[in-house]
Amino acid sequence: MEAIPITIALTGNSPWEIRTLFQKLDSRHWHVNGPDNWLLSDCSQSPVTGSYTYMEQTFRLVCRTFDSLLSNETLQPPDVLAVGCNAAFLERGLFLLARILSSCRFSERPIPMVLCVMDCDRAKRNGILIDFDLLEDVLQIPVIPLDSRISSGYDDLKAAVAYVHAHPPLYDCLDFSPERLADEIIRWPQGTAASREYLSNSTHTDFVTGSILPLFFLFLLLWLTFSGAGLLREPVFHALSRLEHLLFSMLTAVHAPVPLMQFLFCGILYPILWVIAVMLPPLLIFLPLFSLMEDAGFLSHAAFRADPFFSSWGGCGMQCSAITMGLCCHTAAVLECRKIASPRERMAAALTVPFLPCSGRMTMLLSLIPFFTSVGAECDLHPAVNAAVCIGFLLLGAAFSLGAALLLSRTSLQHFPSFFALELEPCRRPRIFQQVLPAALERLSFLLGRAALFSIPAGILIWFLSSREVGGISLLARCISLLTPIACLLGLDGTILTAFLLGIPANEIILPLTASIYSAEACFGAVYHSAHFRSIFLANGWTWKTACSAILFTLFQCPCLSSLFTIHKETGSIRWTIAAAWLPVLCGLGLCFLTACIWRFFF
């Protein structure tokens, strides 16, 4: 059968419902995070092919239902409108349907519609029974029950879209009451099923358990990420080292010119390998766990409980999701800010995310803090002391992040519109293979690819400065000499400050670059272990002052080039991108200068 091109508009009461609709209509079942990520695709496995558009919406809480207002601004009228709603909250979907039918758009040009009732299997398990035949007779449009599995209901939905496109219904005499219709077609559970559903959701919204559970799961998420990353880093490093030796052997076998090999390895390969070695282990653990919490509906409940705290600092509850993601990757955290509906809070969250360390900076902190606590000591201190110092520095970064958000909301962002919109999704069983793993793999490939791409300019610049000489002295050595007086005012030295500047495209290369300059080694495997870092730094005159200033500058430094590119893409303004780059840098410079002055005064 020849494919019929159809433009399908997707709408619903929550982004989760629209995302599920998209995945059922798209034969590839790609994971998408928000309105800007809807993809134009051809469903070649079905007689119906189509492009999918997103119809914007706003939310507000109205008694027992969420009322959703369909936007009047769309690029072009769609051929078919797919309306998604949750079976457990069918009444709010009927409110949305009634609002759509009463809009002027449908009175001028009726658009064929399909009502998709999702999570029917979960609602049935909880004792919620729906009379779909009566619902379809009243509405006179196809009503498709869909289960939580992505593949379930795929053919029925495609067939319904093709049918209503060929036989558009009439809406002239359609007039119904959502409350009355919901009472007639829905039979609510009694006894244990209702008690389980109530207990599952009330546990996350209760003041005591709703406040303790998010903190516990956040601690568990971070502990599993960084403890597991420490175990994975060694095998990842050795695998990448073998790849380096293999490529070197291949180029040597074909007698490649030495300058070309130096450029390929020192300028391109080594920065990419260091970025992958630092980012891959924590991402492999963090992203599946974060996607699991997201698909289970836990993050929306955590945002609900965290909103009073963040509101007092000029933010909103959805910012906690971006902050949690920012501890893994700033680029992903800025993209996570798309979930914040309010322009003021979304902008404040995107600009203050770099105040907290990402996985690349966290690796540097975990390597520098043991050195900082044991300088001058006869033996290494207990790991609990290092953990307490690390938590102290993280709390310092969180305090500056909240302070910067409050300052921005009261000054530069005060003219931006502000409101709080939250879809409190029901807790549900996560879909591991349909949603969690595809989402984690997509984010992993995207973040690693972008970070590796932006590390190449840093590597080429470092190779050029170290290989070109003027007056018998390399350009890199001259840069170090030029920056040494400024670095001394900050409690650092010229090598460290140069490494921070050259590592702006990719923060993951700062620590190995510093050790490589100190040891005059340019190999990927030359410096890796913390013991190597410690011996190299001690041999070059590091003290408590140097270590403390280096930690503070690591905590408050310019975001990587990938994060800045994402911030510019999200905000659409160079001015805000520059502000996001300079806000943490100014705080870091001030703290380092203050630390150096206190050290000189007392010592």
Tokens of 306: 């965290």
Mean pLDDT over each residue of the chain, to the nearest integer: 76
Q: How confident is the model at residue 229 (pLDDT cuts 50, 70, 90)?
A: confident
Q: How far apart are the first and last CA of the chain?
A: 84
User: CA-based angle 579:583:588, to the nearest 5?
Assistant: 150
Which pLDDT score, from 0 to 100, does residue 377 have?
A: 53
Q: What is the pLDDT of residues 457-507, one digit of tens each?
A: 888 888 888 888 877 788 888 888 999 999 988 888 888 899 898 888 888
Contacts of 355 (CB under 8 A, 6+ apart): 397, 398, 400, 401, 404, 556, 583, 584, 587
Q: Which residue, among 24, 79, 450, 517, has the nearest Cα to 275 in the 3D structure? A: 450
Per-residue pLDDT tens for 501-559? Answer: 888 888 888 888 888 888 776 555 544 555 567 777 878 888 888 888 888 998 888 88
pLDDT at 463: 86
Q: What local confidence, expressed as pLDDT, does residue 472 receive?
A: 78
Cα separation, 244 vs 523, in Å, equals 10
Which amino acid belongs to residue 573? S
Confidence of residue 197 (pLDDT cuts 50, 70, 90): low
Question: 197: helix, coil or strand?
Answer: helix
Using the predicted structure, report yes or no on whether residue 44 has a pLDDT greater than 60.
no
Q: How far apart are CA 503 and CA 254, in angstroms?
A: 33
Tell me the CB-side half-sphere exposure of residue 500, using CA atoms within 13 A. 26
Nearest-angstrom CA–CA distance, 513 and 496: 9
Closest CA to 152 of 111, 116, 104, 192: 116
CB 558 within 8 A of CB 584: yes
Residue 583 structure tokens: 């806000």
Q: Six-digit token pair at 360? A: 């690349």
Q: What is the pLDDT of residues 183-196, one digit of tens each?
A: 888 887 665 444 45
CA distance 271 to 276: 9
pLDDT at position 15 over 80 = no
Residues 319, 345: contact at Cβ < 8 Å?
yes
Query: Does 97 have pLDDT greater than 60?
Result: yes
Percentage of the chain beyond pLDDT 90 is 4
* Spatial separation of the C-alpha atoms in residues 107 and 342, rounded to whole Å: 31
CA distance 38 to 576: 26
- In angstroms, the CA 264 to CA 459 distance is 10
Q: Is there a contact between 324 and 400 (Cβ–Cβ < 8 Å)?
A: no
| Amino acid (1-letter code) at residue 174 | L
Q: CA-based Rg of the chain, rounded to a whole angstrom?
A: 28
Contact 415, 295 (CB under 8 A): no
Residues 138-154 have pLDDT tens digits of: 888 888 888 876 566 66
pLDDT, residue 74, reads 39
- What's the rounded mean pLDDT across residues 41-59? 37
**Which whole number is the average pLDDT over 561-573?**
88
Q: Is the pLDDT of residue 410 over 80?
A: yes
Q: Give the whole-angstrom CA distance, residue 499 versus residue 491.
A: 15
Residue at 290: amino acid letter: F
pLDDT at residue number 174: 66
Question: What's the maximum distance between 2 C-alpha atoms anywhere in the chain?
Answer: 89
Place of tokens 């729906």: 130
Q: Provide DSSP, 27-81.
A: TT-----SGGG------TTSSEEEEEEE--EEEEEETTEEEEEEPS--SS--SEE
Beta-carbon contacts of residue 51 (< 8 Å; ≥ 6 apart)? 5, 7, 8, 40, 41
> Residue 64 — pLDDT band, cuts 50, 70, 90?
very low
Answer whether residue 54 shows pLDDT above 80. no
Residue type, 377: A
Residue 412: CB atoms within 10 A of its CB come to 15
With a CB cutoff of 8 Å and minimum separation 6, the contacts of 577 are 564, 567, 568, 571
Map tokens 């005059």 to a residue.
520
DSSP track, 560-587: PHHHHHHHHHHH--HHHHHHHHHHHHHH
Distance CA 272, CA 401 (A): 30
> pLDDT at residue 55 above 50?
no
| Residue that is written with structure tokens 């079976």 in the block | 87
What six digits make up the tokens of 556?
């408050």
User: pLDDT at position 130, please?
Assistant: 86
